[in-house]
Chain A
Amino acid sequence: MPKIKVPRKSISLDMTAMCDMAFLLLTFFILTAKMKPAEPAKADVPSAVSKYEADKKLAKIIVGDDDRVFLGLAEQPARLELADLVLNQTYNLNLSKEELYEFSLMEYIGLPSSQVKNYLSLPEEEKGSFKQGGIPIDSLNNELEVWLKATRDHLKLKMAIKADKSTSYNKTVNKVVNTLVSLHENDINFITSLEAAPTE
């Protein structure tokens, strides 16, 4: 008996379309992803069960693990306005428009007013690696209060504290809280990451 040969059909599919789609997705995700700006100091936030979401437009007071304090504003025009108010009108540094613009390019403000001129006079290539000293919050020289007052009164932004887990509370965070309280900002917000609430 002759064998009936079944014609062999190729099982390979045309993968071109699938490939196109996969790369399209990949490109889409890469292009839409927004990079988080590098923070000037390590601020690894503790977790809490609180489910209140923090506003994206918050002004963040960042307290790093080395106790330096920064003010983080997401928008560059806001930083420009603030720099003009604080550095020129309060501290009378008489910075030119270009210098203010230069200053506002920094994502996080963390310079004592006395060091701003030094920073701006640095050559371009050294600015990137410049280590900001943090905004002074001593009771004698509380520059943070000036920055925060301008942030609240002119930019009308809410403020929140984003501190590193291992920062000493009494040494730094408490001073920031007291600064806010002295500005009559009694609702203090601490930024946290989410953790699962315990089940009862």
Chain B
Amino acid sequence: MAEVNTGEGGGKKGGGKVRSKKTSTKIDMTPMVDLAFLLITFFMLTTTLSKNYRVEIVMPHKDDINKDQHMDAKASDALTLLLKKNSIVWYQLDKNGKPIVIDSTDYSDKGIRQLLIDKSKANNKLIVLVKPTDEAVYKNVIDMLDEIAIVKLSKYSMADISPDDLKIMAQKK
């Protein structure tokens, strides 16, 4: 460190007692405090608070296949979403079970979210069916459920993909 030696050194040359320099017993604690606070800050910032949240979905009962338990829903009210890895193929059926619109969209807020908003505005009885394809990963499903929660749809369900869905998906390509 740059320090200028002043004082005692030059002046008293002759005689006199040689005094041992009195060293102070005080230690400068500043660097130690710095260090301690640095450590506290470091640990606080690197600690991730593990708080878990949950997304809930109610699955249909398995043994309720018997017809009388079924809620009546028109095929024309259903919007089927086939989840793929980076896109969603969706279709709607007419009264005879023929697909009227087949299109695809993506997971962005301009894509699927806008679609859900538009479709729920057009038909307040809308039922959304989510069907993950084999290439869909878990994140896709959660994203999809999340979008449904954001748009606040109340009628939705998850189902396994059927051969008919695969045929419709092939048409889109």
Chain A residues with CB under 8 Å of B161's CB are 170
Interface of B, helix, strand, loop or mixed by DSSP: mixed
A19, CB-defined interface residue at 8 Å: yes
Chain B residues with CB under 8 Å of A174's CB are 132, 160
Interface of A, helix, strand, loop or mixed by DSSP: mixed
User: Would A194 and B51 be within 8 Å (CB), given that A52-B56, A188-B59 are in contact?
Assistant: yes
Assess the B54–A189 pair: CB atoms within 8 A: yes
Assess the B137–A166 pair: CB atoms within 8 A: yes
Assess the B53–A48 pair: CB atoms within 8 A: yes
Cβ distance B48 to chain A, nearest Cβ, rounded Å: 9
CA distance A181 to B33 in the complex (A): 57
Chain B residues with CB under 8 Å of A14's CB are 26, 29
User: Would A50 and B36 be within 8 Å (CB), given that A166-B138, A169-B136 are in contact?
Assistant: no
CA distance A169 to B36 in the complex (A): 47
CA distance A19 to B26 in the complex (A): 14
Chain A residues with CB under 8 Å of B83's CB are 169
Binary flags per residue of B6-31, CB closer than 8 Å to A gives 1, else 0: 00000000000000000000101110
B115, CB-defined interface residue at 8 Å: no
Assess the B137–A165 pair: CB atoms within 8 A: yes
Assess the A50–B61 pair: CB atoms within 8 A: no
User: Would A190 and B57 be within 8 Å (CB), given that A15-B28, A29-B40, A169-B137 are in contact?
Assistant: yes
Assess the A186–B60 pair: CB atoms within 8 A: yes
Give residues of chain A (141-167) contacting chain B, Cβ–Cβ below 8 Å: 160, 162-167
B70, CB-defined interface residue at 8 Å: no
Tell which of B36, B56, B139 touches A26, judged by Cβ atoms closer than 8 Å: B36
Binary flags per residue of A39-67, CB closer than 8 Å to B gives 1, else 0: 00000011011111110000000010000
9 contacts between A and B (CB under 8 A): A12-B28, A26-B39, A50-B53, A169-B137, A180-B59, A190-B145, A192-B142, A194-B51, A197-B150
Chain A interface residues toward B at CB < 8 A = 12, 14-16, 18-19, 22-23, 25-26, 29-30, 33, 36, 45-46, 48-54, 63, 160, 162-171, 173-174, 177, 180-182, 184, 186-194, 197-198
